[in-house]
Chain A
Amino acid sequence: MAGFRILLAPRLEVSHRMRAATLAAGVAAGLAISALFLVLVGVPLGDLWSEVVLYTFTDPSGLDQTITRAIPLILVGLSVAVVLRVRFWNIGVEGQAWMGALATTAVSLYAIGPMPLHLPLMFAGAALAGAFWCGLCAWARLRLKADEVITTLLLNYVAYYLTQHLLYGAWRNPNDSYPTSPDFAPGETLPGIGFGHVHAGLLIALAAVGFCWWLCSASRIGLMARAIANNPVAARAVGIPVERVVLLVAMLAGALSGLAGFSLVAGTEHRLTQFIGQDYIFPSIVIAYLGRSHPLGVLVAAFAIAGLYTAGDSLKAFYQLPGAVVLTVEAMLLLTVTAFDFFLRYRVSVLRAARPAVSS
């Protein structure tokens, strides 16, 4: 049998241009497959453009929805991205967001501190609560070698059930029968910025992008993080405090997710509700990955994914397509982008085995 062998050679250096081209090709392929799928199930191609794409990103009410939805997505996307830089998987953004939401609500409910200070206290409390939740997992990995993929994941459930416990118990609004907290006072909510429902959480998210950019590219910690990502053993050998950097970055990641919870409670809902912290785990990973773990990339990706959710709502309303379509499209995007990355990492060559013809 004339055989051939596929040879994979890891590429040592990849140019920026090639990286960008691969990412673009991956995204394009994912979008093309998704569009094809939508056309096949009965959405006319023209409508897909006018009612879905244009509405989502240019129509004022569509854009309002997209930007409002992008605020927590930017924060959780950053959360996964920064800590992925030290090879730490944060699959726990939901739990950290729940903890942030709980801290925010506690400030309002128990009237902690003077009224004018409530918003800053909520901000700080949410960041601390999220940092604590993610920091626990980092500590468990560094000290106890407990895999962070599992611990961050499980703490999502712990935070979720803690929230439900409070919402059905001590924190329940006594005035109605729904499991929600009492409404926040007017001074305890994030003000709007004069465009639809978009609130000042957007400024927090943008500031977080700027901060993470500085941190990753210009700060000492960012430099050390890069060394750790490249080679943890070598980083330790040259005297970088690996444990401390990983713990610190993980706590920052938790704080960012905690702030996502803060923005949802104080910005959008103005009270703690039952499901606000849900459906962020997979989007956060997709955003971090499509954004190449770069803060600016995360900003763009979060905006795009937020648009996908707005589009999903239109599709649901006009074509009765189930909400699962959005998740499928997200998965398809991540799938094609990661699949294209294969060619970025390996040079593939087919070897024809020049086997001498042996008669048996």
Chain B
Amino acid sequence: MSTFLLDWLAAIPVFAAPFLLATTGLIINERAGVLNLGVEGIMSVGAVASVIAMLEGGSVAWAVGAAALAGVLLTALFAVLVVVLRIEQVLAGLVTFALGIGISGYVGDGYANQAIAGIDPLPARFFAWLPGPLARVADQDVLTYLALILAVVVWLVLARTEFGLRLRAVGEDAPAADAAGVDVFGMRILAVLAGGLLCGLAGAHLALASSQVWIEDMVSGRGWIAVALVTFSRWHPLRAIGAAMLFGAVEAVIPRLLSSGAHVPVYLIEMTPYLATIIVLAGSRALGKGADDQPRDLGRPFLREERR
């Protein structure tokens, strides 16, 4: 049983990292007042871009760069739709989602089901100084560590810098921020693009570290979970680390339970993260906690000519 537990714990970060990258990206978006429902599509183009880069002879660094670029490019379209054309954010997000899935399905058609080298965990000797089980859990790949570092950096920037304060002001009260001299448009576009970059990286992690192959629809709902995780972690990047680990833990335990041959209701276990998110979403409001965490201007377009 203890090897089961250790295997499980060591597998959690790989499953959690795509959630963490995407959730951190979405937190940047939503803190600036933009709800991006296109994540699933953005992760998908990120994943396919990294696999194509690998199969065309690129290195891992190229693959990660390609994923980030693909994420930013698709998100740029979303940014134009919501920030410039002021299309309703839910609608624009869904368009981005469908375009991303459609484009990656089309472009990736010739690259599907071909194994790639991908990213391996860091050399074990880096962690030799840690006690046995801990060294095992700590031995992850570079992208997973990058996800953790980015979450902390985003938290620091949002909570501790003037830039972060301006960004949050845009999300809380865009007209007031505008009056105070903050460039609402610029800030929102920047936040959306930064979020898209992280979502692209989330796709790269899925393809390079977890599956090491491109399969159509391989993101399979993880982007939507990330949307929910933002609410679950109440728009806080550090809480997002815990939330992503929790969801990663559920995802990591299922193949292990199945291979152990134990009779467990797998599908009911897979359901729990979604139920947990709903309960947290509804419960935190019911208890009066977290009601104020949601950025007040989330989803609201800003137009100076329409100033309230």
- Residue-wise, chain B 77-100 has the 8 Å CB interface mask toward A (1 for contact) of 000010001111011101101110
Interface footprint category on A: 35 or more
Closest to B98 in A: A331
Interface residues of A, dominant DSSP = helix
Task: Tell me whether A327 and B270 are in contact in the complex, defined as CB-CB below 8 angstroms, given that A322-B216, A342-B86 are known contacts.
Answer: no
Please, how many angstroms separate the alpha-carbon atoms of A140 and B99 in the complex? 31
Task: Tell me whether A289 and B91 are in contact in the complex, defined as CB-CB below 8 angstroms, given that A145-B291, A162-B267 are known contacts.
Answer: yes
- Residue-wise, chain A 285-296 has the 8 Å CB interface mask toward B (1 for contact) of 100010000000
- Residue-wise, chain A 142-163 has the 8 Å CB interface mask toward B (1 for contact) of 0111110111011101100110
Counting CB contacts under 8 A, is A165 at the interface?
A: yes
Chain B residues closer than 8 Å to A169, beta-carbon distance: 265
Counting CB contacts under 8 A, is A58 at the interface?
A: no
Counting CB contacts under 8 A, is A323 at the interface?
A: yes
Which one of B105, B216, B282 lies within 8 Å of A140 (CB-CB)? B282
Interface footprint category on B: 35 or more
Inter-subunit contact A285/B305 (CB<8 Å): no
Chain A residues closer than 8 Å to B88, beta-carbon distance: 338
Which residues of chain A from 308 to 360 have any CB-CB distance to chain B below 8 Å in the complex? 321-332, 334-335, 338-339, 341-342, 345-346
Please, how many angstroms separate the alpha-carbon atoms of A326 and B106 in the complex? 10
Interface residues of B, dominant DSSP = helix
Please, how many angstroms separate the alpha-carbon atoms of A161 and B109 in the complex? 28
Which one of A8, A154, A282, A324 lies within 8 Å of B228 (CB-CB)? A154
Task: Tell me whether A331 and B267 are in contact in the complex, defined as CB-CB below 8 angstroms, given that A153-B224, A158-B275, A322-B216 are known contacts.
Answer: no
Query: 3 closest Cβ contacts across the A-B interface?
Result: A324-B105, A328-B102, A331-B98
- Hey, which bits of chain A sit against chain B, CB under 8 A? 7-10, 89, 91, 140, 143-147, 149-151, 153-155, 157-158, 161-162, 164-165, 168-169, 282, 285, 289, 321-332, 334-335, 338-339, 341-342, 345-346
Instruction: List 14 interface pairs A-B (beta carbons < 8 Å), by A numbering.
Output: A7-B305, A144-B286, A147-B281, A157-B271, A157-B274, A161-B271, A165-B271, A168-B267, A322-B106, A322-B109, A325-B102, A327-B105, A334-B91, A338-B91
